[in-house]
Copies of this chain bind each other. A is one copy, B any other.
Amino acid sequence: MDVSVHPPRHAVRDAVARAIAEDLTPLGDLSAALLPAGVQARATFVSRSRGVVAGTMCATEAFAQIDESLVVEWQLDDGAAVEPGSVIGTVDGAMASILTAERTALNFLGHLSGVATRVRELVERADPLRVWDTRKTTPGLRSLEKAAVRAGGGRNHRGNLSDWVMLKDNHLMGLGITAGVHLAKDRWPGRTVHVECERLDQVIEAAEAGADAILLDNMSPAQVRDCVVAVHERHGARRPLLEISGGITLDTVAAYAGTGADLVSSGSITNSAPVLDIGLDILRTDDVRPR
């Protein structure tokens, strides 16, 4: 398991506990309760589409919280590419427990794989630009979606308002960029200071002031290239990162790929990714010998 593409365990535990509570309160699974006792099954996660897997830890946790005797094994780890028919993993144990946990496990796996899939597409088209996510995530799933971004090959922009400084026009009111960056660096030494700019002169000022990253907001490829040239000339290797942002889509990103900027960011990879279609094929296994 590659730890770098998975979310922290406490976030997985908490998110799964909430999902189970919302699916089983107050009476539990009425339908599974009709099954005769003792029926065993093997279930297989199979992708129905092309994409990238993410969320296996959540699926494992969902089965474990429903019934710790279920045995879950993964053939593929988060970040793996799948085609229609790819087997992702298996679950063995009580049929009733598998049916109860099925939808919760699939909701996580489908959603997070959907994010990873969308990221991978953008990563491939944006190359050599790297892909940054944003704080435009689904409420309550920040940790999980940001891990899915990593699984898809993207990079994580700031995780939240607490981990770096981002100066937009409302933050800079009356100060101007230079004073704003200096204030941020004085108050939060060592921390990334990121400035949102709309024009070349702002970019030059932000870079001069010592910004660590600059968001080029809603610029055309040509404008971006001008900014890149200006910043590279003035600051060489110790220059700030240049991020392209503002409505970049799978269709338009290729036009920016060769601009020489560092990164492109996208909110839609987390807040508008359709699920990846993954199914759970369930077989009764009573006649199979226990292992």
Contact = CB atoms under 8 A, between A and B. Distances in A.
Contacts of A95: 170
A160 interface: yes
Interface residues of A, number: 111
Interface string A36-80: 110101000000000000000010000001110000000000000
A18 to B, nearest CB: 5
Contact of A19 (B35, B140, B191, B267): B140
Contact of A161 (B23, B160, B212, B272): B23
Contacts of A237: 210
A34 B4 contact: yes
Nearest to A166: B31
A237 B25 CA distance: 32
A282 interface: yes
A7 B66 CA distance: 12
A99 interface: yes
Given A95-B170, A163-B164, A26 B142 contact: yes
A107 B271 contact: yes
A290 interface: no
Contacts of A89: none
A274 B31 CA distance: 31
